Amino acid sequence: MGYQTGLKNLFEKWSGEKVKSFSPLPESGSARKYFRIAGTTKAAIGAFNPDKQENRSFIYLSNHFRKQKLNVPKILGADLDKHIYLVEDLGDKTLFSIIESSAEKLFEGDELTDIYEKVVEALPRFQITGAKKLNFSKCYPDQSFGKESMLRDLNYFKYYFLKPFNIVFNEKKLDDDFDTFANFLLKADTSYFMYRDFNPRNIMIKNGAPYFIDYQGGRKGALQYDIASFLFSSKANFSSKTREELLQLYLKSAGRIKKIDKKRFLKYYYAYLLIRILQMLGAYGYRGYFEGKSHFLKSIPYAVKNLEWLLKNHKPKIKTPELFISFQQIFNSPELKKFSSGNSDPGKLNVRINSFSYRKKLPADLTGNGGGFVFDCRAIPNPGRLEKYKDLNGRDKEVKDFLDAQPEARNFVKETFDLIGKSVEKYLNKSWTDLMVNYGCTGGQHRSVYCAERLAEHLRSNENIHVILVHTNLD
């Protein structure tokens, strides 16, 4: 890969040393790739990002914040034509990794408290002091978190969370609610630097002090968004008491820099928290459902829990009835509830059966277990080629009767049943919880749906199996 050679050359030019080690760092949710590069006495983090404008933004913001004496990595070198740059190596310890290793210790008086307090005290310096003399035209992809950005996030939630998880809504009414919601948010003071993705994954801990990374998506915006993002980070799982204490500490710290009207701040705080939660749900849906990165799906229960808490305790006073109707469906959705326990029906084997179109991606493994079956139904006679079946699908009796009469279809279904039955028996004996079966055809409308329906009927007769049937192209 050319960019790896470029990073090695850039490192040797900066350090004056030959590269002794070059190792990739774990991938994140972005297209950026990071490497730890070391010579004889010096080390750095090398980054490759094909988005040149995002790189320019990151380098500009890094240099600006360094001038403001804020804790960010130093830029050591860059070759933007090759989409690469070097930054200071801050180590491996993120606040997220500390939280992960201390998952059962997030209580008052915990050793993490000191770090949390340092983080919320440092945040206003980025937002208020960091905004001074900052050229927001250098921010990318947007100069500000304005109405266009807000509506983009809300539509992200609609298309990548509500629709894939079968939440029913009136699209016109929901779009009107989105417009009302955005107009309300814009009444807050939006003249500060908004980090945009202020969460424990983007906070490094070095010598006990927090350092901040991944602010390249920052822009002009309201104070409320970032502190809400941090206090309601899905995996942090703060208690309500801890959140309130840290929020008050944040307001006190911000008040030392600029006078803050607390009443007005709180009026918009919970509304910004709401849009942040919706943005997170959209991101989890996109990364998990469409990109097949199942670990993002495991964060859904935390975000839904935060949404329930918000509506119960501090429901924003905004007239958005269709939006709130969709929330109630989220809370009651059996499709979403399974993420909270990892097993839709404890004690039973969950068999998730999907029909899909080969014109699209394979269905995502929502459990993270991997494995299962993918069957190609395209060798079966296609009823979709006949005019009388064209507008029907594999759930319709006419299509089922047509395929039942085809020897190829009957044999295909029987052979898949035999294969799946052997795995089901093994899974039950081992007390495994999840098995996925995918049937694919050209359009995901007739043959794959028919096979998925037949398998569901076959397996439902076993009281030890819980069937989850999803027709991805129809639904």
Indicate the SS3 state at residue 436: strand
* Whole-number Å distance between alpha carbons of 308 and 327: 8
* Whole-number Å distance between alpha carbons of 28 and 213: 13
Q: Which amino acid is at 64?
A: H
Q: Which residues contact 138 (CB under 8 A, 6 or more apart)?
A: 56, 57, 60, 61
pLDDT at 371: 75
How far from the centroid of its chain's Cα atoms is residue 461's Cα? 37
Indicate the SS3 state at residue 47: strand
Fold of 95-338: Aminoglycoside 3'-phosphotransferase; Chain: A, domain 2 (3.90.1200)
Question: What are phi and psi for residue 264, nearest 5 degrees?
Answer: -70, -35
Ranges of CATH 3.90.1200.10 domains, the chain: 95-338
CA distances 388 to 372, 440, 472, 473, Å, are 34, 22, 23, 20
pLDDT at 363: 83
* Per CATH, domain 2-87 is 3.40.30: no
CA distances 118 to 103, 107, 264, 414, Å, are 20, 17, 25, 63
Ranges of beta strands (E only) in 195-348 are 203-206, 209-212, 219-221
> Which of 134, 373, 160, 151 is CA-nearest to residue 286?
160
* Whole-number Å distance between alpha carbons of 141 and 354: 36
* β-strand partners of 122: none
* Whole-number Å distance between alpha carbons of 75 and 66: 9
pLDDT at 138: 96
> Which of 315, 116, 83, 297 is CA-nearest to residue 198?
116
* Whole-number Å distance between alpha carbons of 202 and 25: 14
> Which residue blocks in 1-124 are alpha helix, DSSP H?
2-15, 52-67, 95-101, 113-124
> Which of 139, 275, 266, 121 is CA-nearest to residue 194?
139
pLDDT at 125: 96
Ranges of CATH 3.30.200 domains, the chain: 2-87
> pTM for this structure?
0.74
CA distances 83 to 4, 48, 56, Å, are 11, 6, 10
| Structure-block tokens of residue 153 | 């996030």
* Whole-number Å distance between alpha carbons of 229 and 221: 13
* β-strand partners of 34: 47
* Whole-number Å distance between alpha carbons of 77 and 11: 8
Instruction: For residue 368, count other CB atoms closer than 10 A to its CB.
Output: 15
Query: How does DSSP assign 161-212, residue by residue?
Result: IITTTT----HHHHHHHHHHHHHHHTTS---EEE-S--SGGGEEEETTEEEE
* β 84-87/192-194 pair status: unpaired
Q: Is 202 exposed, middle or buried (0-12, 13-18, 19+ CB in 10 A)?
A: buried
* β-strand partners of 352: 436, 468
* Whole-number Å distance between alpha carbons of 301 and 77: 41
* Whole-number Å distance between alpha carbons of 30 and 442: 31
* Whole-number Å distance between alpha carbons of 205 and 211: 6
Would you give per-residue pLDDT tens digits along the chain (475 residues)?
689 999 999 999 999 999 999 999 987 667 899 999 999 999 999 999 999 999 999 999 999 999 999 999 999 999 999 999 999 999 999 998 888 776 544 444 466 889 999 999 999 999 999 999 999 999 999 999 999 999 999 999 999 999 988 899 999 999 999 999 999 999 999 999 999 999 999 999 999 999 999 999 999 999 999 999 999 987 677 888 999 999 999 999 999 999 999 999 999 999 999 999 999 999 998 888 777 777 788 788 889 999 999 999 999 999 999 999 999 999 988 777 666 544 445 568 889 999 999 998 888 776 767 679 999 999 999 999 999 999 999 999 999 999 999 999 999 999 999 999 999 999 998 888 889 999 999 999 999 999 999 999 999 999 899 898 889 888 6
> Which of 112, 161, 156, 188 is CA-nearest to residue 339?
161
Q: Which residues contact 430 (CB under 8 A, 6 or more apart)?
A: none
Instruction: Give the number of residues written for the chain.
Output: 475
In the block, tokens 């107009």 appear at 183
